[in-house]
Amino acid sequence: MEPTATTAPALPRSIDEIRAEFPILAREIHGNPLAYLDNGATAEKPLAVLDALDNYWREHNANVHRGVHTLSEEATALYEEARTTVASHLGADRREVIFTRNATEALNLIAYSWGRTNLEAGDRILITEMEHHSNVVPWYQVTQEKEAHLDWAPITDDGRLDMDAFAALLEKGPKIVAVTHVSNVLGTINPIEEIARLAHDAGALLVVDGAQGGPKLELDMAALGADFYAVTGHKMYGPTGIGALFGRRELLEEMPPFIGGGSMIKKVTKERITWAGLPAKFEGGTPPIGEAVGFGAAVRWIDELGLPAIHAAEAELTTYALDRIAEVPDLRVFGPPAGDERGGIVSFAMEGVHAHDISEILDRHGVAVRAGHHCAQVLMERLGVPATTRASFAVYNTRADVDQLIDGLLDVRKVFEL
Ligand SMILES: Cc1ncc(COP(=O)(O)O)c(C=O)c1O
């Protein structure tokens, strides 16, 4: 259940104290304090992560798993400890957590390994109109290859999944349903438990793109009902180059490897190769060791603050932002109204001004936002716009950041003489 404003626990430290843990937030941009509102693209990193990375590279760096010297054993222990941290954060078994480069690679792993093995001509995969390209392209590729069909569940005008249409598409019997937990454009939080129940009743497996859910929502794989769940470290206050795929053990056991090479084999002879057990089977080559250590530190940092408290703080700020943004004339704001179904993402379009121009003028005010199609071109088409400007919040954002955004938007209107 999502926390409500009245029951959500408070953060254990003040926002000022939390902000002080992020050195980059002290930057000035064009003479203005930085208002970093591009967290949907990547989050800034707290000292806990910077220190863990520094410590790993200075004190423990070695390759993992194959060394019998002290540093290799230390690096292996740190790498596997990070897996344990991520697994416990997701309510999963360690063998069910595969480290990948990012959410994109995690989703490709499923499409290539599960999809190529199990899909046949005429089969169906069901995705939604609000998917990021990372949860579109791999399914497009595998359905093309297998002569299978890709179905698109529509969204409502206020940016929610159209559950009636979704249920109707399930009747076509897809083998896989792939849905984002939180839309990176609309901020919509999809009802994953319900989607899981419906998908399973229809005989489909559920893949959840958790790139935006990971930093915002408390995750328990069993409660959620996802068969696969992809997260990406850099949006969860961790480093780039590291993500994770949760997969139910029975499924991962049956799936062939994704990337062939060192570490993922049990035995190689000229005649035959057998695969390592989980999770090594899916981690061919030297893994991103330092990055995984940094990711583990980020997840510990998030868990120490508590996701219900992080979510509540962001929800409060989103409500404030939606209220204040309504003061700016001629803005079209996308996504559901403030509340439990909305994460801290606010996308908008200004009549007569391109999103890139808005973003550039906001930058002069020290406000970092994202402009473009946000890797969601099908959604842009559905919304009837080529691009949007997106402000996306993290736990360290304040009302002052939002006020700076609004001042910047009012300036955009002046510059364009609106
Ligand atoms: C909803 C969603 N899915 C997937 C991704 C891909 O994440 P990554 O580039 O870290 O793989 C993003 C990144 O913006 C996203 O917002």
In the chain, CATH 3.90.1150.10 sits at 15-44+306-415
Q: At what angle do helices 307-325 and 399-415 cross, to 10 degrees?
A: 30
For ligand 1, atom 5, name the residue with the nearest CA. 211
Count each helix (H run) and each strand (E run) in the chain, helices first.
15, 17
pLDDT at residue 338, rounded to an integer: 86
Q: Which spans in 110-236 are helix H?
A: 116-118, 137-146, 163-170, 192-201, 221-224
pLDDT at residue 27, rounded to an integer: 98
CATH topology of domain 15-44+306-415: Aspartate Aminotransferase, domain 1 (3.90.1150)
DSSP 284-320: -SS--HHHHHHHHHHHHHHHHH-HHHHHHHHHHHHHH
pLDDT at residue 192, rounded to an integer: 98
pTM over 0.85: yes
The rounded Å distance from CA 196 to ligand 1 centre is: 21
- What Rg, from alpha-carbon coordinates, does the chain have? 22
pLDDT at residue 2, rounded to an integer: 45
In the chain, CATH 3.40.640.10 sits at 50-304
DSSP 222-285: HHHT-SEEEEEGGGGTS-SS-EEEEE-HHHHHHSPPSS-STTSEEEE-SS-EEE--TTGGG--S
pLDDT at residue 7, rounded to an integer: 66
The residues annotated with a catalytic role in the active site are: 375
pLDDT at residue 189, rounded to an integer: 98
The rounded Å distance from CA 188 to ligand 1 centre is: 15
Cis preceding-peptide flag for 279 (omega within 30 of 0) = yes
- The CATH architecture assigned to 50-304 reads 3-Layer(aba) Sandwich (3.40)
Residue from 204, 50, 42, 200 nearest 115 by CA: 204
Ligand 1 binding pocket includes 232 (Cβ within 6 Å): yes
The rounded Å distance from CA 103 to ligand 1 centre is: 6
- Averages of pLDDT over runs of 10 residues in the chain (418 residues) are 60 98 98 98 98 98 91 97 98 98 98 98 98 98 98 97 98 98 98 98 98 97 98 98 98 97 96 98 97 98 97 96 95 92 95 95 98 97 97 98 98 94
Q: Give the number of the atom of ligand 1 that is nearest the alpha carbon of residue 209.
A: 3
pLDDT at residue 204, rounded to an integer: 98
Rounded CA-CA distance 371/358 in Å is 8
pLDDT at residue 371, rounded to an integer: 97
Ligand 1 binding pocket includes 108 (Cβ within 6 Å): no
